[in-house]
Amino acid sequence: MKPQAMCVVLTGASGGIGSATACALVAAGARVLLVARSHRALEQLALGLGSAATFLSADITCPQGRASIVTAARATGANVLINNAGLASFGRFQNLGEPHIREVLETNLVAPVLLTRALLEHLGTQPQAAVLNIGSALGSLGLPGFCIYGAAKAGLHGFSEALRRELHGTRIRIQYLGPRATSTSFNDARVDAFNRATGAQSDSPERVAVAILEMLARGTPERFLGFPERYAVRVNGLVPRWLDGAFRRHRTLLTSDSTLP
Ligand SMILES: NC(=O)c1ccc[n+]([C@@H]2O[C@H](COP(=O)([O-])OP(=O)(O)OC[C@H]3O[C@@H](n4cnc5c(N)ncnc54)[C@H](OP(=O)(O)O)[C@@H]3O)[C@@H](O)[C@H]2O)c1
């Protein structure tokens, strides 16, 4: 799809990857409906983007929030949904509380699934349409310290793959992008320190935004970013147990560093 033909609903638009993506989309000629909870941040971003951007303050985990997104998407003639909103989760599994676990699974998996379902009928009325789910390398490569985050993104990956096959041959493309660590405020100081200590490289949000634009333009079904992460994802998909012993440093840091959750 050409960027000029895209009218995009972008969740998580006020965040690092979201705002970089909004800027890249508008610069390429797309129209964007910016969605997040924080009205002020969206207002500021929309102001800088001019008439190609409108915004809606909505919580994707609430039925009312999703209903307001669907109403706005219909009114603007949206033909692309980017499920980008997400919450971070890091720490020893046994230390994560039930409310946190539920909130992460709701935001990162249940809400994008329900928003996709709510928008599907409208997307099917468009000449061409796409849903691009922003997952993570950690959804296809389970790492110590990221059990719940990885579970949510693995769910989003499985959902994307199955729905892509279910809708094969229709006007709606289902796409999935798995970025590796990205330099945004998503990762707090503890995750940054953990990533440094384990040798994980980070991309800029602008790099992720370019990949999003490329995927939408080319219709790429699935993509993982960064070396060696995308190769590790492949190996893990073939023989996961080969990698089970490979994360000693991660385990040691998690159990020995008292500053980690
Ligand atoms: N940064 C990374 O290292 C990294 C790596 C791989 C994948 N990802 C994925 O990339 C996506 C974007 O990450 P990011 O780094 O840009 O994170 P970020 O800067 O923290 O932005 C997260 C965005 O999600 C929105 N959001 C959170 N909960 C929401 C809710 N209930 N309803 C509506 N909006 C909500 C936030 O806005 P409000 O708080 O105002 O609602 C914000 O706009 C996420 O899905 C993340 O899992 C990130």
Residue 257 has pLDDT above 80, yes or no: no
Atom of ligand 1 nearest to the CA of 59: 32
Q: Answer whether CATH 3.40.50.720 is correct for domain 3-256.
A: yes
Q: Is 187 touching ligand 1 by the criterion CB < 6 Å?
A: yes
DSSP-derived 3-state class of residue 246: helix
Give domain limits for the chain.
3-256
Ligand 1 contacts CB of residue 18 (under 6 A) = yes
From 184, 192, 208, give the residue whose CB has the most ligand 1 atoms within 8 Å, as the site to mutate.
184
Residue 109 in contact with ligand 1 by CB distance below 6 A:
no
Beta bridge partners of 261: none
The three-state secondary structure class of 190 is helix
DSSP 55: E
Rounded distance, CA 234 to CA 236, Å? 5
Q: What is the mean pLDDT of residues 112-118?
A: 98
Per-residue pLDDT tens digits for 197-212: 999 999 999 999 999 9
Q: What is the pLDDT of residue 256?
A: 79
Measured by CA distance, the residue closest to atom 13 of ligand 1 is 17
Q: 174 near 112, Cβ under 8 Å?
A: no
What is the pLDDT at residue 43?
98
- Average pLDDT of the chain, as a whole number: 96
Report the predicted TM-score, pTM, of the whole model to 2 decimal places.
0.97
